[in-house]
Amino acid sequence: MSRTVYVNGEYLPEEEATVSIFDRGFLMADGVYEVTSVLGGKLIDFPGHAARLERSLNELEMAVPMSTEELLEVHRELVARNGIDEGLVYLQITRGNPGDRDFAFPPADTKPTVVLFTQSKPGLAANPVAQVGIKVISIPDIRWGRRDIKTVQLLYPSMAKMAAKKAHVDDAWFVEDGFVTEGTSNNVYIVKGGKIVTRDLSNDILHGITRAAVVRFAREAQMEVEERPFTIEEAQGADEAFFTSASAFVLPVVEIDGKAVGTGTPGPVAARLRELYLEESLKAAV
């Protein structure tokens, strides 16, 4: 059965959904996005995603086309119409269709393009990968300097994912000036002597919604968290490593550039944080 998607105020079968060839998201990657997880038919961390969306739009001087309440209504409607129990809701907003291609921003009254769709992901919470961990490689970070804005400029992360696939591993970590910035679509962490280390917030990394929640839950559980850069060598010598994202929650990393991290198996800190995140986030789900 066809999915129902949302395009500019209309709920449509996915086969009937279209966007103009002049849309600046298509021509210029002039757009932002958010991905919200769904567990038990409810949205996880929705307020955080909505707040980051508004920040991204403001940073790019784009109009905010809908209120948080209206966005929540659309998310819930799509989840209901598509019968999503576990999965994702993808939202993309672009600067719209100015009628022709031009590098200059279109007139301020150009209507933004708003698109949402769902993806069903049964077993999202009980992901077996959490029990075995993933392997990563490191690659140079050559992305633009505003990684804190969640734009649709995802070509290099996509290329990095393919580089990992060609190396027969699961993901890649970006390295800039000798220090790890983040994963291709996630924030990254190491654990040494019981201390959790993750890069501090700046324009260099995405301000992850899951990151914020996990750091908060860790501190509430009396775990020590240090926010600073770390190197690949430090990560390889850590007791544990893991990453966080909206679609994966908390997943352990057991190998970096061919070298096992710790025992080469998922460690207790990552396991406990995944458990905490799922428990607490489900309580607050909308």
User: How large is the average pLDDT for residues 155-169?
Assistant: 98
Residues recognised as catalytic: 150
pLDDT band at residue 217 using 50, 70 and 90 as cut-offs: very high
165 in the same domain as 101: no
The band of 110, judged by pLDDT with boundaries at 50, 70 and 90, is very high
82 and 183 in one domain? Answer: no
- Note whether 47 and 109 are same-domain residues: yes
Residue 52 confidence (pLDDT): 98
Residues 112 and 148 in one domain: no
- The residue type at 270: A
Tens digit of pLDDT for each residue in 49-87? 999 999 999 999 999 999 999 999 999 999 999 999 999
Q: How many folded domains does the chain comprise? A: 2
Q: What is the mean pLDDT of residues 150-170?
A: 98
pLDDT at site 144: 94
Query: Domain holding 209: CATH number?
Result: 3.20.10.10
Residue 131 pLDDT class (50, 70, 90 cuts)? very high
* Centroid of chain to Cα 78: 20
Question: Would the pLDDT of 28 be above 80?
Answer: yes
Residue 13 has pLDDT above 80, yes or no: yes
| Token digits of residue 93 | 């907003």
What was the pLDDT predicted at 221?
96
| Same domain membership, residue 112 and residue 36 | yes
Q: Which of 214, 227, 209, 140 lies closest to 180, judged by CA?
A: 140
Same structural domain, 189 and 277 = yes
Tell me what percent of the residues of the chain surpass a pLDDT of 90: 99
Residue 1: is its pLDDT beyond 90?
Answer: no
Tokens of 22: 């002049």
Residues 139 and 106 in one domain: no
Q: What is the pLDDT of residues 168-209, one digit of tens each?
A: 999 999 999 999 999 999 999 999 999 999 999 999 999 999
Coarse DSSP helix, strand, coil percentages of the chain, rounded to the nearest 5 percent:
30, 30, 40
Domain boundary among 120, 150, 166: 120
CATH code for the domain of 51: 3.30.470.10
Residues 153 and 83 in one domain: no
144 and 111 part of one domain: no
Question: What does the DSSP 8-state code read for residue 219?
Answer: H
End position of a domain, from candidates 69, 85, 120: 120
Q: Domain residues for 155? A: 128-284
Q: CA-CA distance, 247 to 46, in Å (whole number)?
A: 13
User: Exposure of 103 by Cβ count < 10 A (0-12 exposed, 13-18 middle, 19+ buried)?
Assistant: exposed
Domain boundary among 120, 154, 189: 120
pLDDT of 161: 98
Is the pLDDT reported for residue 248 higher than 80?
yes
- C-alpha angle 26-56-8 in degrees, rounded to nearest 5: 50
> Are residue 135 and residue 67 in the same domain, yes or no?
no
Residue 171 tokens, joined: 């993901």
> Do residues 11 and 151 share a domain?
no
Indicate whether 190 and 272 sit together in one domain: yes
Neighbours of 105 (CB within 10 A): 15
pLDDT, residue 272, reads: 97
- Two structure tokens written together for 36: 């919200």
